[in-house]
A = this chain, B = another copy of it.
């Protein structure tokens, strides 16, 4: 298996998620150095640790490509990346493990444009919120000399961009992998190990189809609901009447509009199905309320409460 402390990691896109990844990776690599996981391979740029032991960046490196040079500079100044690239091909040729931290459509364009520039044997993964769209290309690449393992870290924020990655942590989050038949078992084992090291608390493995069905419910439907709530709100002064529920339900409506429009339409078959199921439940509740069927309503709400409470300890 790959030694995680000896890989060259590359991040394509240093937005919120790319930023969060380099931020989570840095202490993991630093920790590995402290414990001498690759003491034998110290680089010439070595320094002193707190304990006086000699250390250095070692063979593991974090590289990043982003269209915005300011972001690369900021990440390098924070010590999060060893080198920034304005030319993706140059970086890809040096990299063992590549994280595509792009929206689905950009990820697909990037892969098509740069497929010949990856280092042979590279492990590639993505973070896209829909998993069927990249599937044919991922399988095609993985049938060759690359290994593309599709993934989806279940972590996000309504605040986008590298600057907002500062307050962002992966601790306690879910990570979904939708491995392909073509994936090398040792690469999958490596990626699983790396994901836990980055702070995620659970990995769920399933098919792209099942992922898109489930995510349409837990993520996309929730964003559609938040959007509809704001759309149907009278005006901004309504929060003078807020007690917390409205604020909690609509915080995610400060979303990145282009990304979510892309996710919604990209998964429209699954998402419209989930909207319809939700709307049916809403109708059912509306009917009991409208007809003042208090006892039936109370029984339904009590059952819902029980169902929700069972969701509290899913691990």
Interface residues of A, Cβ cutoff 8 Å to B? 154-156, 173-174, 176, 202, 204, 211, 214-215, 217-219, 221-234, 236-255, 257-258, 260-262, 264-265, 268, 271-272, 274-282, 284-286, 289-290, 292-294, 297-302, 304-305, 307-311, 314
Contacts and interface: CB of A to CB of B under 8 A. Distances in A.
Contact of A233 (B217, B252, B258): B217
A138 to B, nearest CB: 20
A257 B154 contact: no
Contact of A225 (B225, B230, B237): B225
B305 A289 contact: no
Contacts of A250: 308, 311
B277 A239 contact: no
Given A214-B241, A217-B234, A232-B277, 19 more contacts: A154-B241, A155-B244, A174-B242, A214-B238, A217-B233, A218-B239, A224-B285, A224-B289, A226-B249, A228-B281, A228-B282, A231-B300, A239-B311, A253-B304, A257-B298, A258-B298, A261-B294, A261-B298, A275-B285
Given A277-B232, A301-B257, A314-B236, A225 B282 contact: yes
Given A222-B245, A281-B232, A282-B224, A314 B240 contact: yes
Contact of A238 (B217, B241, B242): B217
B282 A286 contact: no
Q: Which 10 A-B pairs have the closest CB atoms?
A: A154-B243, A261-B298, A257-B301, A222-B245, A228-B281, A231-B281, A257-B302, A214-B241, A232-B281, A239-B314
Nearest to A223: B245
A246 B218 contact: yes
A276 B232 CA distance: 9
Given A275-B282, A300-B231, A302-B257, A174 B252 contact: no
A8 to B, nearest CB: 29
Majority-rule SS of A interface residues: helix
B229 A225 contact: yes
A255 B303 CA distance: 11
A252 B246 CA distance: 10
Contacts of A246: 217-219, 222
Contact of A219 (B237, B245, B281): B245
Given A278-B228, A314-B239, A286 B307 contact: no
Residue picked from A176, A221, A225, A277, most chain B C-beta under 10 Å: A225
A289 B268 contact: yes
A209 B254 CA distance: 31
17 contacts: A154-B241, A174-B240, A174-B241, A217-B233, A219-B246, A222-B246, A222-B249, A224-B286, A227-B304, A228-B278, A236-B314, A242-B314, A253-B308, A254-B308, A258-B298, A275-B282, A279-B282
